[in-house]
Amino acid sequence: MEARRQPARIHRFRPALITQTDDALPEYMNLIGMICSMCALMLKIKWCAWIALFAAIVGFANARATEDTKQVLSSLMLSISAVVITYMQNPTPMTIPFFQ
């Protein structure tokens, strides 16, 4: 068994060799988060702000390790600010339009 080890045949790792998977969920969540945050801030829609927050957190949970954390964090901060600012503008409780 020991004879199988051959230090002469060592090759260094290259990140390109990792099998690529077609997982676009983090990008979609990022996009939805951004759009919903903008809607919430400009149109003062509360449930949009909450959806943005959810999307940002789901995107954060599914992010790859190689992905830039600044992008993910900025999306999260934007959604939190959307929620806070929407409630500061209108402190009344949220009403879901489909159920009322």
Partner 1 sequence: MRLAICLVIVFLCFICSAAKKVKDEDFSEFDDFDQDEFVVETPSTTSATLSSSKTQGSKPDAVETEKVIQADSNKGKQKEKEDDEEEEVSVIDEDDDSMFDDEEFEASDSFASATSATPDLKIAEVPANLTGNRWEAYQCEAVMIIALLAYLINFLIGRAKNARLATTVYHAQRDLLDRNFALVGDDGQTRNTETDDQVNQMQKESDHLYILWCSGRVSIESMLIELRLVKRQCAFNSLAAIIKSINDTLVYTIDFNKDDMETFVFCLAKKRSAVKLHRDMVDLSQFCAERKSADKKGFPGNYQVLSEIGEASSHITNDQKLAEFLTKYPDAIEYIHISDQYSGMKIQSDQQTSSNAATNTGTAAQQQDALNTSERSLRRVLIVAFNLTPQDGRSLQITSESLPGDYLRFVLQLIDRVAAFRFGSKELKNKATKNRQRIEEQFLKSVNLQRQEQAQLRREEKRRAEKEKVMQSDDAELQRKWEEKEHKREMKRRQPKMKQMKVKSM
> Contact positions toward partner 1, by CB under 8 A?
1-15, 17-20, 22, 47, 50, 53-54, 57-58, 61-66, 91-96
Nearer to partner 1, 6 or 43 (CB): 6
Least Å from the CB of residue 34 to partner 1? 19
Q: Please state, in angstroms and rounded to a whole number, the distance separating the CA atoms of residues 55 and 46.
A: 14
Asked if 47 and 90 touch (Cβ cutoff 8 Å), the reply is: no
The dihedrals phi and psi of 12, each to the nearest 5 degrees, come to: -75, 155
Whichever of 8 and 88 has its CB closer to partner 1, that residue is 8
Token pair 């901060």 is at which residue?
77
Closest distance between partner 1 and the C-beta of residue 72, in Å?
A: 12
